A and B are shown apart, each in its own frame.
Chain A
Amino acid sequence: MSLAYLRGVCRHYRMGNSVVRALDGIDLDIETGEYWAIQGRSGSGKSTLLNLLGCLDRPTAGTYVLDGVDVSALSDDALSHVRSRSIGFIFQSFNLIPQLTVEENIEVPLFYQGVAPPESRRRARELAARVGLTERLHHRPTELSGGQQQRVAIARALVNDPAIVLADEATGNLDSATENEILAVMDQLHGMGKTIILVTHNAALTRHAEKVMVLADGRIESLRTRAEADAAGEEVP
């Protein structure tokens, strides 16, 4: 059975009298340990899809089953619970909490899981070490470079040992050197068996993914494996 699957998922917004179909009938099967890239122009619906996959939002129609649970009809509290246990978010603008230190930022998801401080601190340090930030545990986000901030965000996304890591334009705010660095971390995570979904408008970033899905106008335009995509010569050098 798939780790997650979507069947006929729609997300429609009402804007005055008209209905915006941000997502319109998405079917998707994600297996454990897969590395996905979701590509599309802005307005194609990729952020909406990511929000749905991350249980931040609910579909207006269709089903989304994550880890055997139909999350499309869960209450707000239950969704929070699912996010806390099963989802790791990495955002374009890092989204660290400025008044907290690196260590505290990494601990936030554990805090909401009710993990006791000694244990959560231990895990935060472990994760910080994994992304090479042991020296920076007590720094504030503003004292770090963009790449370092994003590594904190990655550590935070992993600290609750999530089923899926969702990265939304994770390298959008970084220079190309740092971008590669972050992508290398992603590859590393993939190597460890994490399920990763990378959302980007930049086709170049999809080269690390096993499966590349292109969204347009809320529908799946194409869905190919890496090999297929390479064969089609879609990659931008």
Chain B
Amino acid sequence: MNLFWILRTIRLGMKNLLLHKLRSVLNMLGILFGVGSVIAMLAIGEGAKWEAQEMVKRLGPTTIILYSQKPVEVDESTTSTSRMVEYGLTFLDMDRIAETLPAVKVVVPVRKVSKEIWMRGVKYEANLFGTIPRYANVTNAQAVEGRWLASLDFEHSRPVCVLTYEMARQLFPIRSALGETVQFGDAVFTVVGVLERRRGGSSKGKSSADEPMGAYTPLSALRERFGDINIRQTPGSTDISRVEVHEAQIKAREIDDVIAVARNIRTMLEKTHEQGDYSVFVPLEELRLAEATARIWTIVLACVAGISLLVGGIGVMNVMLATVTERTREVGIRRALGATQQHILSQFLVESLVLTLAGGILGVAFGYLLPEVVKFFTDVKARTPLYALFLAPGISLLVGLLSGLYPAWKAAGMDPVEALRHE
């Protein structure tokens, strides 16, 4: 059996399939859906994991982020009156975490003040973050111009700030921001550095490091100039709140410690913050969660794919059995003209392979589009891995082989004399 023989057999197979177009197309559908599900399964599974992996890569696997959260009950009672609300994480919490949990490497508190900036007659909304110098290590912040905050800035509560790349471009589109001053409310800060542009991450795990209009200053300088009370005036009401720490970036020493540290922090905060005015975000937990979601999707779609392929395979076998019976006489003629059993076997096998492979190739297109549709209607992330595009036709060929083997074997085993007599 040589190449031209194979090519001819394939051509013959296609010819025979085209003879019964509707039957062939209907048959391919089963394979098409099966293969499509396989690809969609891999794409959605991969997508869910990929998003979480990217987030973990961005935030670091050992990171735990705490946020202060305005409790719901307090929110409702201050709709009309202006009353000071006090909530959130405190410096005491920071100290407790750092001192009682040995697996914690570093605790970086972040305090946020939202202010308006007027620059050449244009108003900008910006956030000033007060933090400690180690913030840069924790969030991988890199200065592209100037420098990051230094220990001395912190010790002397110097009114200096580092701008995000976006903010520097907004405020100082032409000249360098270094050495310029920016006035947040009543306080003036001198720009000592500009951070590199940050990659846009996912919506999950957003922190002070992802704020485009942001500036970073020593926590000591921030507290000295704005105190611990935030006043926010909106038409009709005045929000006065006292929040010591808006956000805390915590690093565990080892990846293996992260889950335990997060649990300990939760236990600790539950005791001291009964009103639940905080939230804990653990990227690693999110990854585990995403992996679990991906697993569920994989199982569901694997079942769909398995059933479709099984049904498709049965369909192909059914049609091939019908074809073999229909063409019994042809088998007889071919045997009389010199075809061996192997020739007949391969002829029918190739036919079922062509059928399923065609279904498989269409299934690749279907499987590529299906996650896009799912993505459009849900927030499920999908990413079709390249290998899936090669795996799927492989699966369809396997189905073709399994379902075509018996009918082909039946055809090959026919007695030539009997087959020739068949009407």
Contacts and interface: CB of A to CB of B under 8 A. Distances in A.
Interface of A: 51, 54, 56-57, 76-77, 80-81, 83-85, 87, 89, 91, 95-97, 99, 108-109, 111-114, 116-117, 156, 160
Interface string B71-107: 0000000000000000000000000000000000000
Contacts of A108: 333-334, 337
B420 A95 contact: yes
16 contacts: A56-B335, A56-B417, A56-B420, A77-B341, A80-B335, A80-B340, A81-B340, A83-B335, A83-B337, A84-B337, A95-B332, A96-B333, A108-B333, A109-B337, A116-B4, A117-B4
Given A95-B329, A95-B420, A99-B19, A109 B8 contact: no
Contacts of B4: 116-117
B253 to A, nearest CB: 72
Interface residues of B, number: 24
B335 A91 contact: no
A99 B340 contact: no
Nearest to B19: A99
Contacts of B339: 80, 84, 112
A117 B329 contact: no
Interface of B: 2, 4-5, 8, 15-16, 19, 329-330, 332-343, 416-417, 420
Contacts of B341: 76-77, 80
Nearest to A93: B329
A160 B8 CA distance: 19
Contact of A89 (B8, B329, B337): B337
Contact of A56 (B5, B8, B340, B416): B416
A54 B337 CA distance: 10
- Which of B5, B16, B337, B341 has the most chain A CB within a 10 Å cutoff? B337
Taking chain B's interface residues, is the majority helix, strand, or loop, or is none over half, making it mixed? helix
B2 A114 contact: yes
Contact of A156 (B16, B329, B337, B416): B337
B330 A97 contact: yes
Given A56-B335, A112-B339, 10 more contacts: A56-B417, A76-B341, A80-B339, A81-B338, A84-B339, A95-B332, A96-B333, A109-B337, A112-B334, A112-B340
Given A80-B340, A84-B338, A95 B333 contact: yes
A206 B333 CA distance: 26
Nearest to B419: A56
A149 to B, nearest CB: 13
A165 to B, nearest CB: 13
B323 to A, nearest CB: 12
A89 B340 contact: no
B5 A114 contact: yes
Contact of B420 (A91, A96, A113): A91
Contacts of B5: 111, 114
Nearest to B329: A95
B283 to A, nearest CB: 62
A84 B334 CA distance: 10
Contacts of A91: 333, 420
Nearest to A86: B338
A111 B9 CA distance: 10
Nearest to B16: A99
A54 B333 contact: no
A77 B340 contact: yes
Most chain A CB neighbours (cut-off 10 Å) among B8, B15, B338: B338
Given A56-B417, A99-B16, A83 B333 contact: no
A117 B4 CA distance: 8
Given A57-B417, A111-B8, A97 B333 contact: yes
A135 to B, nearest CB: 23
A39 B4 CA distance: 42
Contacts of B338: 80-81, 83-85, 109, 112-113, 160
The residue among A87, A111, A156 with the most chain B CB atoms within 10 A of its own CB is A111
A233 B30 CA distance: 69
